Structures are given as C-alpha cells and as structure tokens.
C-alpha cells in the first residue's frame, strides 16, 4: 500500500462507477435488469457502512471545528448539501455503526457491531441500521450493555433477511420481553390538503397523529372537545371524574369543580383523553354497523398465559399492539370470545358448507393469521378479505385450512399465471404460504408472512445467533451483570425465554 494509505482506490471506484452507470439497460434481459438492481443495492449498502466510518472520522478529527462550524451535522450540510434530517441521521449512525477511539487511544468495536457488519457486507441498509438504533435507544435504563449487545445480535442478523419495518416490529416484541411494562389558501386548496394520518407504532407502542383539518372539521372538533376536554372531565386517572359531556343535566356542578381541581394534566393530555372517550362512545353506540361481516369494535388477540398473568402485549385486528393490561381494561364490559389452538398455534377445525366465510371463521382467522398473509404485507385483518387457497369454483371448501386473509391489493396479484403470485396451504397445517413470480424469486420458494408474528422473526434470528456463537457464549448460558429488580427479568433471562419458548421469569 502506498504512503497515501490506498487513496488511489478512490479514483478506481469512480472509474468503476462510471462504467457501471454507462450500461445500456435497454439491451439487457429481464433477469439481467434484476441483477443490476440487486448489485446496485448491495454497493449502496456497503457505501452506507463506509459512510458511517467516514463521518466518525469527521467527528474524531473535529473537521467541523476547523471550519468554525459548531456540529458535524452542519459540516455535512455545507459540504454535501444534505438536508438537516439526513445529516442528523448520518451522524447518529456513525456513533453506533463505526469503530470508536477511547481517550486512551484504544480502538473499540462499534456499539452495534453485528448490525455494522451487515452493512459492511451489503446485506443491510442504512434504514435497517436506523431501525436497530431506535430500538436499542428504547432499552430501559436498568439494563446494561449486555442487553444492547444481545438485541444488536438478534436484530443485526434479522436485518440480513428482513425489511426495516420488520426490525421495528420485532423490536417492539423484544422490548416487551425486556420490560413488560402564510396566506390563506382557497377552498380548493383546503380540500386538497385535508388529511389525517395515524403513524406507525414506535418501539414504545406510541403512535403519532398528524394531519390538516378543514376549517369546518376543526370547528366541529373544537365544539365537541370544549365540552369533553374541560378540566376534570373524562380523566382516566380519576375514577370519580365525570364521563361524557359537561352539560349533562344529571351532573353535579360541585363534583365537576372538585374533579377539575384534581386534574393536573396538560391541555394536550386532556384533548387526548376526550378523543379516547369519543371513540369509546362511537364504538359502544352500535351506530357504526359492520365492517367485512363483523361488528365495528376493537378485536384483541392474546394468549391464555397473557390472560392469566395480565402482562405482555396483545394484537388488534387493525394491526396495533396494546399492553395486555389495557386490553383487559377495555374488555371489562364485554363478553370475550375464546379461540382454541393446538400446540403448534393452528386453530382447531371450523368448516362451512357455503362459499362465504362465517363470522366465527373470520374471527378465528383474525386471531390466527392477524393480517394479510402475503410475505412482507403489513395490512391488518380488519382490512382483509377471506381468500380460498383452492378456489371455491375448483372444489375448495370453506374450511379454515383452505382460507387465508388477503388484502384487496394482494388479492388482485393472485392471477394463476407465471407473472402472478400463487397461494398454497401449509402441508403441516400452519399458516398459508405464498410463491412469488419468477422475476422476484427465481427459486420459487414458498414463504409465510411473519410481519404480523414478530415472535417468529425473533426466534429465527435468535436461533441463527445461537448457531454462530461459540458454545460458551450462548445467550442462555451467559452471565448478565444487570441485577434484576423485583418482578422484572434480567436481559439474559428475558431473551433466553424467547429462545426456549418458556415464560419470562
């Protein structure tokens, strides 16, 4: 290597990139186009890993200070013309994915070494690294670096075969294991801008609600919240708080006044609680009718163990995750439906002699499959139709082992041709399997969707971690230096339970 430390390789990669980008794409076959896409993505991911190391050098050398800039982010913005958000993301990535130098001069591995290696190999992207970092940042403070190392190991391996969204979903399950606890626009512009979006759940199970309300919609909402969000009203932390609207004639004004004095919540929290009370009223009124054959209500799925212990997280038919304690609180005034599954997680037989699935079958499919069964699809059960794996017209029965939840978009992709997807029943009685078209998967491997079943993602990744780790370092034999607090597991206890399928101690 020359005295320049191999810097001539920079010119080499530029030349190679020029040649790669000069490819005549129109002359390539469909299979070659697929190969170009895969190769370009691998190179991009490896460069993401290099970028983390280079940005770490910017911070270590203080290059931003040399040009009188206060932060590395500002240096990247001025040098590379990045957005503020992208510059911040790269600095955060460098702090966890690049080797570190301590004050003594010693060089240490990255904070997330397994994820960093996945980027360096081109098997994971910057988005995967960001998803792992956000999960690790949510680890409760009572756990030490042992928990971080084990979660990085599991999620870093998972990143090699799954999407960033899968990382977030699996991270939620892991954390639950660790801690169960200008000028006014015209009317046309206003109508075009109207929106309301419920963001995906983060690692802490919270969801953002964002949107732009039409002036008339805001006026209606403010009129309602003025009555429902007054101090003391609909306070979930106060059992004596009056419920509903403040102007109900039977309410005692003195009780309202006393409840208001006890209510120390911020205005934004009161608005949230009033909104929750309005949702409860709408669901309990019966005025919403049915959706896809079921009454419009909250459908929650949990295990018998969760029901008995009141811990962990349950899933909803709309794709959400709810702490079991909250789910049980919601269910206090309703009659639960008991769904029975065998030891492999497959429901007992429930057949029907008609083409359309019954209400009970849809409920059981919701508890079993939880959402669209196409691999990678995150559409929840509430937005899915019931699909016959073997078509009804071809003699397929309306039995559970021949039914699959499929969203409308993916249902249209089942064409029965080489260009479409095909669905088949699992020979062992598990959830349905899908086969992708040849251009997406030349091996035509039959796959299940794990997006709605994060425990499967985790157990697969954890098992892979076990196989690649020396025997003396396997998770269930490692010593965790975190002292468990009363009623809470250590990181090793929690993650060992994940591997063995035992309850968390």
User: Quick check: pTM over 0.75?
Assistant: no
pLDDT in tens, 467-498: 766 543 444 333 233 334 444 445 555 555 55
Q: In angstroms, rounded to a whole number, what is the distance separating the alpha carbons of residues 288 and 382?
A: 14
Q: Which two tokens stand for residue 373?
A: 């069964």
Q: In angstroms, rounded to a whole number, what is the distance separating the alpha carbons of residues 317 and 312?
A: 17
Per 3-state DSSP, what percentage of the chain is helix, strand, and coil (rounded to 5)?
50, 10, 40
pLDDT in tens, 361-418: 788 888 888 889 999 898 888 788 888 888 767 777 777 778 889 988 898 888 877 7
Q: In angstroms, rounded to a whole number, what is the distance separating the alpha carbons of residues 396 and 288?
A: 33
341 pLDDT more than 70: no
Q: How far is CA 475 from CA 329, 463, 471, in A?
A: 35, 10, 9
Mention every residue, 6+ apart, whose C-beta is less than 8 A from residue 146: 478, 480, 481, 482, 491, 492
What average pLDDT does range 418-424 have in this prediction? 86
Q: Which two tokens stand for residue 473?
A: 């370092």
Of 405, 500, 442, 490, residue with least CA distance to 140: 490
pLDDT in the model for residue 480: 34
Q: For residues 463, 465, 470 and 476, what is the CA-based torsion angle, rounded to 10 degrees?
A: -60
pLDDT in the model for residue 59: 92
pLDDT in the model for residue 50: 94
Q: Which two tokens stand for residue 102?
A: 């301590």
**Domain boundaries in the chain?**
13-111, 112-180+453-505, 218-294, 351-447
Go through 467-484 and write b for each residue having 16 or more CB atoms within 10 A of its CB, e for each that does not: eeeeeeeebeebebebeb
């Amino acid at each position: 290597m020359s005295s320049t430390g191999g810097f001539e390789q920079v010119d080499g990669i530029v030349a190679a990139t020029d040649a790669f980008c000069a490819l005549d794409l129109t002359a390539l076959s469909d299979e070659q186009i697929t190969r170009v896409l895969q190769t370009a993505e691998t190179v991009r991911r490896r460069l993401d890993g290099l970028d983390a190391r280079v940005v770490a050098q910017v911070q270590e050398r203080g290059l931003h200070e040399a040009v009188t800039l206060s932060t590395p982010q500002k240096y990247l913005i001025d040098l590379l013309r990045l957005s503020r958000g992208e510059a911040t993301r790269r600095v955060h990535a460098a702090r966890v994915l690049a080797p570190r130098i301590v004050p003594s001069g010693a060089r240490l591995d990255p904070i997330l070494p397994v994820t960093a290696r996945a980027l360096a190999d081109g098997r994971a992207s910057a988005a995967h690294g960001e998803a792992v970092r956000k999960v690790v940042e949510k680890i409760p403070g009572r756990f030490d670096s042992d928990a971080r190392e084990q979660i990085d190991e599991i999620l870093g391996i998972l990143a090699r075969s799954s999407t960033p969204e899968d990382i977030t979903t699996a991270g939620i399950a892991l954390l639950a294991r660790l801690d169960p606890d200008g000028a006014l626009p015209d009317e046309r512009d206003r109508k075009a801008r109207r929106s309301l979006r419920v963001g995906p759940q983060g690692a802490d199970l919270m969801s953002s609600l964002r949107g732009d309300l039409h002036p008339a919609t805001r006026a209606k909402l403010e009129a309602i919240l003025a009555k429902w969000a007054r101090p003391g009203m609909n306070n979930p932390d106060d059992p004596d708080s009056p419920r509903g609207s403040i102007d109900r004639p039977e309410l005692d004004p003195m009780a309202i006044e006393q409840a208001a004095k006890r209510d120390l919540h911020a205005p934004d929290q009161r608005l949230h609680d009033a909104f929750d009370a309005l949702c409860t009223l709408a669901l309990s009124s019966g005025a919403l009718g049915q959706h896809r054959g079921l009454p419009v209500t909250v459908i929650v799925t949990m295990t018998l163990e969760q029901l008995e212990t009141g811990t962990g997280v349950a899933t909803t038919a709309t794709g959400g995750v709810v702490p079991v304690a909250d789910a049980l609180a919601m269910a206090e005034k309703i009659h639960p439906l008991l769904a029975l599954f065998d030891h492999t997680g497959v429901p007992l037989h429930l057949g029907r002699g008609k083409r359309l699935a019954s209400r009970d079958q849809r409920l059981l499919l919701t508890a079993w499959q939880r959402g669209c069964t196409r691999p990678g699809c995150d559409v929840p059960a509430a937005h899915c139709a019931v699909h016959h794996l073997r078509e009804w017209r071809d003699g397929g029965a309306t039995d559970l082992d021949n039914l699959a939840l499929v969203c409308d978009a993916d249902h249209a992709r089942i064409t029965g041709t080489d260009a479409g997807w095909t669905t088949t029943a699992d020979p062992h009685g598990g959830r349905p399997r899908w086969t992708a078209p040849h251009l997406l998967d030349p091996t035509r491997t039959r796959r299940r969707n794990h997006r709605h079943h994060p425990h499967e993602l985790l157990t697969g990744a954890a098992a892979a971690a076990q196989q690649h780790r020396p025997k003396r370092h396997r998770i269930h034999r490692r010593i965790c230096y975190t002292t468990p607090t009363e009623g809470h597991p250590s990181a090793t206890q929690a993650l060992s339970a994940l591997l063995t399928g035992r309850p968390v101690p």
